A and B are shown apart, each in its own frame.
Chain A
Amino acid sequence: MTTSEDNLGFLNINSGLYKTRISTGFKNRKAYKPADPKLILSFIPGTIIEILVKVGQSVKKGDDLMILDAMKMKNRLKCSMDGKVKKITVENGTRVPKGIVLIELE
C-alpha cells in the first residue's frame, strides 16, 4: 500500500514506459565515455615518485612515462600512443586519486 505518487518516475525497458521508483544508483549512474588514448590516467590512487618525460618530448607507444607508487608497488605508467607530451599535470610527490589525468599527449 505504498504506491503513493511521490518519487515515481518512468523507466523505459524495451520501448515499454513503466511508472516506478527510480533508484538513486540508477539516477546517479555516469554516462559511458570511451577511453581517450591521448589522456594518461592514474589507474590506482597513489603518489607520483618519478616523471620520466618532459613537455614537448616525442614518445612511443609502450614508453615509460612516470612511476606511480601505490600499494607498495612502483607502477610504471606506459604511453598509450605514439606522439608528443603536451602537458604534465603533476609533479614529483603529488598524491593522486584514481582516474585523474596525469599527462596529455598529442
Chain B
Amino acid sequence: MADNKKLRELKEKREKLLLGGGEQAIEKQKAMGKRTARERIMGLLDKNSFSEYDLFVEHDARDFDMDKKSLPSDGVIIGTGTIYGAPIAIFAQDFTVAGGSLGLMHSRKITKIMDHALKMRIPLIGINDSGGARIQEGVNSLAGYGEIFFRNTISSGVIPQISVILGPCAGGAVYSPALTDFVFVVDNISKMFITGPEVIKTVLGEEISMEDLGGARVHSEVTGNAHFFAHSEDECFEQIKKLITFIPWHNGKKARAFDAAEPDKKFNISKIIPEDPTMPYDVKDVIRAIVDNSDFFEIMELYAKNIVIGFGRMGGKTTGFVANQPLEMAGVLDVDSSDKAARFIRYCDSFNIPIITLVDLPGYLPGVDQEHAGVIRHGAKLLYAYSEATVPKLTVILRKAYGGGYIAMSSRHLRADFVFAWPSAEIAVMGPEGAANIIFRKEIMSAADPDQMRKQKVEEYKIKFANPYVAASRGYVDAVIDPADTRKFLLHGIEISEYKDVPMPAKKHGLPPF
C-alpha cells in the first residue's frame, strides 16, 4: 500500500485491541488457570486458519458512566476458521474485558457469527466465559440473550452447535449451551448455574460451593447438562477436534468418510459375554470389537452409565452407538438413561448418522422415585426417538431383551431396518423367574415343595422362551448370527442402507414427550 501511515495506524489499532482487557487482566485470567479467549481460538482451530471479524466493534451504552468506558471488541471475539479442514464459525467470550459480560454489541457480534454459520451451513462453536448480563446495559443485555437463544433453536438440527464452558456461565446465559448439541466442560474451570451460591445463601440460607453447585463434575455426573468432561483445556480441545471428525458440516451432508480399518484383535467378540444372563460385562468392549480401529468415542460417559452412547466408524463411516450397559445398574432403562439415549438418537437422525443398538437389559428400574420422576414420560422419549428416526437403524440383541425394554431398544416394531440376535439372546415378555412366578403361580403354590417346583418351572420357561428363535419365527428378528459375524452383518447393513429413504406423513412437527 502506498500510504504506509494508514497501514501503521491499522496495525497499532489492532495490536491494542488484540490484547483484550490488557496485560493485568490477562495475568488474572492466567492465575485462574485459564487461557485467554484468543489463545483458545488458536488452540482449537487449524494453524493460521482464523479470520476475525468485528474487532473494532464498540458499545454505545451511555448510562452509569458507560460512555467513559472503552471495552475492546466489546468482550467477545468472533470469526471463522477450520478444524482438520472442516469449516467452523466460532465465538469466544473474553473474560478479560468487563468479565466477558454480555451487552448489546457483544450479543450482536455473537448473533452475526451465528447467522453466518446458519447461512453457510457450517458448524458453530461457542466458547463461554462470562460473568453474565452487563447490568449497565439493562434490558438491551436481556434482548441480546434472547436473540442468541432464538438462533440456537432455529439452527438446531441444521448445523452442529457446540458449546464450550471455560469459565462462569451463569443465569440466563446457561440457556444458550443448553440449546446446543454438545456441551464441553473442564474440571475446576467450568461453572454453570441459574442462581449462584451467593443468591442461594441469601435467599435460602443454604451454603454450597460453586464447584458443588455447578462445576464440571456435577454437570457431567449429576445433571446431564454436559456431554464431555476434561481435566484441562488442552484435553477439552482434543475432544472437540475429535468430535468434529465424526459429524457432518450440516444436515444436508454426511460426515466425512475415513479409510475403513479392522477392530483390534484383542477384543474377542465371542468371549466378552458371560453365558449366565445375570452376570455383568462391559458392553463397551463389544462396541470396540465391532468398530473400526476399536475406536469408540463415548458421549456422556459419566452420566446415566447404565446406557452407553457415542460414535464409532463402520467401514470408515460415522455410526452412532446406543448400548445397554449390564455392568452398571444391570443395564436397566430409567428416567436418565432414556433421556440420554433419546437425545442422542435424535442427534444421529438430524445429522444422517446410522444408529447401531446393542441390546441386553432386564427391563425398567422399579421404584417410587422412578415412577414419581416420570419414567413413563421420559421412557416414552426413547420410543419416540427410535420410531421417528429415519436414518438406518440396526439392532443386535446380545442377550436379554425383556418386555418393554425389548420394544424400546430399536425393535423391529419401531421400524428397525435390521434386527440381529446372537444365539445367547433371550427375547421374551419378561425374565424367566418373573414369568414363571406368574404363569405357574398355582402349580408353584400348590406343590409340596414350592421352591423346587419354581426352579423346575423357571427351567421349563427358559428352554421354551429364553431364546431368539421364537422372535425369529415371527420375523421380528431377521437373522440369528454367530457373534463373530456381527461386524460383517452390520457393515453390510449400513452399506446397503446408504440411500435409505422413508417418507413420513406431513406435519409441522411432532410432540415428543419432553
Contacts and interface: CB of A to CB of B under 8 A. Distances in A.
Interface of A: 1-3, 8, 11, 13-23, 26, 29-30, 32, 45-46, 70-71, 95, 97
Contacts of B367: 29
Interface stretch (B124-132, B236-244, B277-285): B277-285
B238 to A, nearest CB: 23
A47 B305 CA distance: 39
Given A3-B281, A45-B203, A71-B203, A20 B369 contact: no
A13 B279 contact: no
Contacts of B285: 1
Main secondary structure of the interface of B (DSSP, over half): loop
B363 interface: yes
A14 B331 CA distance: 14
A18 B280 contact: yes
B203 to A, nearest CB: 7
A14 B432 CA distance: 9
Contacts of A15: 431, 433-434, 437
Contacts of A3: 280-282, 327
B491 to A, nearest CB: 24
A23 B434 contact: no
Contact of B278 (A1, A17, A46, A97): A17
Contacts, number: 84
A15 B366 CA distance: 11
A8 B203 contact: no
B329 interface: yes
Contacts of B403: 14
A41 to B, nearest CB: 15
Residue with the greatest number of chain B CB neighbours at <10 A, chosen from A8, A20, A22: A20
A13 B365 contact: yes
Nearest to A11: B330
Given A16-B277, A18-B330, A29-B369, 8 more contacts: A13-B332, A15-B437, A18-B362, A19-B280, A21-B280, A32-B369, A45-B203, A95-B205
A58 B140 CA distance: 54
B198 to A, nearest CB: 15
Contacts of B433: 14-16
Contacts of B281: 3
A30 B372 CA distance: 12
A97 B205 contact: yes
A16 B431 contact: yes
A18 B324 CA distance: 14
Contact of A20 (B205, B206, B326, B366): B326
Contacts of B434: 14-16
B204 interface: yes
Nearest to B266: A1
Given A20-B280, A21-B280, A97-B206, A14 B328 contact: no
B278 A21 contact: no
Contact of A21 (B329, B365, B369, B402): B329
A45 B332 contact: no
Contacts of A13: 330, 332, 362-363, 365-366, 431
Contacts of B365: 13, 26
Nearest to B278: A18
A97 B204 contact: yes
Contacts of B363: 13-14
Nearest to A14: B434
Nearest to A71: B203
B385 interface: no
B204 A20 contact: no
Nearest to A12: B366
29 contacts: A1-B282, A2-B327, A3-B280, A11-B329, A11-B332, A13-B332, A13-B362, A13-B431, A14-B366, A14-B402, A14-B430, A15-B433, A15-B437, A18-B280, A18-B330, A18-B362, A19-B279, A19-B280, A20-B327, A21-B305, A21-B329, A23-B305, A29-B367, A45-B203, A45-B205, A70-B203, A71-B203, A95-B205, A97-B206
B463 interface: no
Nearest to A15: B433
Interface in B259-297: 277-282, 285
